[in-house]
């Protein structure tokens, strides 16, 4: 039985209740969760599951792509059984930092796509910083400095994001909705769309801030040459 992904509908949900579907050793599957798993290049959430006086640390969250179960790995073995009602509590500072970085990544990716025709070939959003790989022929620091500078200016315009769902066929007709060089969105009948009006629109399943003014200052950390037509940008938000 699949897990209902509450995070797709509300990135600001810090606590929730759920019913245990399966508990084996230190792994727990529930009927719903606000914990974002490691997917789409965004790090998983951490936090706690509680039941009465019992408190279990969540140290890893991943999704079974076949069953759509979201598996919560705990720090130790849990005394939980099928049918138990538990409360989930996210490490909010970690999650909010990921949201800010993730939305910043969308701004940078949109600018690299529109201004330099560069597609994303890889990337990862972690709590400390994010990295994006682009298919560019040369390592030109000026390009990345210009893109990050423009992303800062766009973020300061305080644009509210729009998050909605489209059928797969509808979504794939939207120009620029896929900015990945070698990968299409998952084979789902319905895709979650994240839109920063007049700037970006992407099929995306990760958590985001509500308004670009929450991002803060985007800071370029470094650029790496990762081989032929592969350039990596590291950045953080403050």
Same-domain check for residues 161 and 214? yes
The count of residues in the chain is 238
Select from 59, 90, 121 the last residue of a domain. 90
Tell me what the mean pLDDT of segment 219-238 comes to.
95
Average pLDDT over the chain reads: 94
**Given this model, what pLDDT does residue 182 score?**
52
- Residue 85 belongs to a domain with what CATH number? 2.40.30.130
Same-domain check for residues 42 and 77? yes
Same-domain check for residues 105 and 68? no
Same-domain check for residues 54 and 110? no
Select from 56, 90, 124 the last residue of a domain. 90
Same-domain check for residues 41 and 79? yes
- Residue 188 belongs to a domain with what CATH number? 3.30.980.10
Same-domain check for residues 101 and 164? yes
Same-domain check for residues 126 and 229? yes
pLDDT digits (tens, 9 = 90+) for 134-188: 999 887 899 999 999 999 999 999 999 999 999 999 988 888 787 765 555 667 7
pLDDT digits (tens, 9 = 90+) for 22-48: 999 999 999 999 999 999 899 999 999
Q: Read out DSSP for the chain?
A: -PPEEGGGT-TT--EEEEEEEEEETTEEEESEE-PPPSBTTBPPP-EEEEETTEEEEEEEEEE-TTT-PEEEEESS-----TT-EEEEEE-HHHHHHHHHHHHHHHHHHHHHHHHH-PPEEEEEE-SS-EEEEE--SS--HHHHHHHHHHHHHHHTT-PBPEEEEEEHHHHTTSTTS--BSS-PPPS-SEEEEEEETTTEEEE--S---SBGGGS--EEEEEEEE-STT-EEEEEEE-
| Alpha carbons 104 and 126: distance in angstroms, whole number | 13
Select from 90, 119, 143 the last residue of a domain. 90
Residue 200, domain extent: 95-237
CA dihedral 55, 59, 60, 61 (to 10 degrees): 30
Same-domain check for residues 30 and 114? no
Same-domain check for residues 115 and 15? no
Same-domain check for residues 50 and 159? no
Tally of domains within the chain: 2
Same-domain check for residues 177 and 109? yes
The whole-model pTM stands at 0.94
Same-domain check for residues 135 and 189? yes
């Amino acid at each position: 039985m699949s897990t209902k992904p509450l995070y797709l509908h509300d990135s600001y949900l810090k606590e929730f209740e759920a019913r245990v579907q399966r508990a084996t050793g230190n792994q727990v599957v529930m009927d719903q969760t606000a914990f974002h798993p490691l997917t789409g290049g965004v790090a998983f959430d951490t936090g706690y599951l509680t039941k009465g006086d019992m408190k279990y640390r969540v140290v890893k969250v991943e999704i079974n792509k076949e069953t759509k179960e979201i598996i919560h790995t705990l720090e130790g073995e849990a005394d939980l059984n099928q049918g138990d009602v538990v409360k989930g509590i996210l490490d909010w500072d970690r999650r909010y930092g990921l949201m800010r970085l993730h939305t910043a990544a969308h701004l940078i990716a949109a600018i690299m796509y529109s201004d330099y025709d560069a597609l994303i070939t890889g990337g990862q959003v972690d709590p400390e910083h994010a990295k994006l790989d682009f298919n560019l022929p040369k390592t030109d620091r000026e390009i990345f400095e210009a893109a990050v500078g423009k992303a800062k200016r766009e973020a300061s315009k305080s644009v509210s994001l729009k998050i909605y769902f489209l059928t797969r066929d509808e979504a794939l007709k939207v120009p620029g909705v896929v900015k990945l060089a070698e990968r299409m969105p998952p084979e789902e009948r319905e895709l979650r769309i994240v839109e920063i009006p007049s700037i970006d629109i992407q099929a995306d399943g990760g958590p985001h801030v509500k308004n670009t003014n929450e991002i803060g200052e985007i800071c370029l950390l470094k650029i790496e040459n990762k081989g032929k037509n592969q350039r990596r940008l590291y950045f953080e938000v403050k």
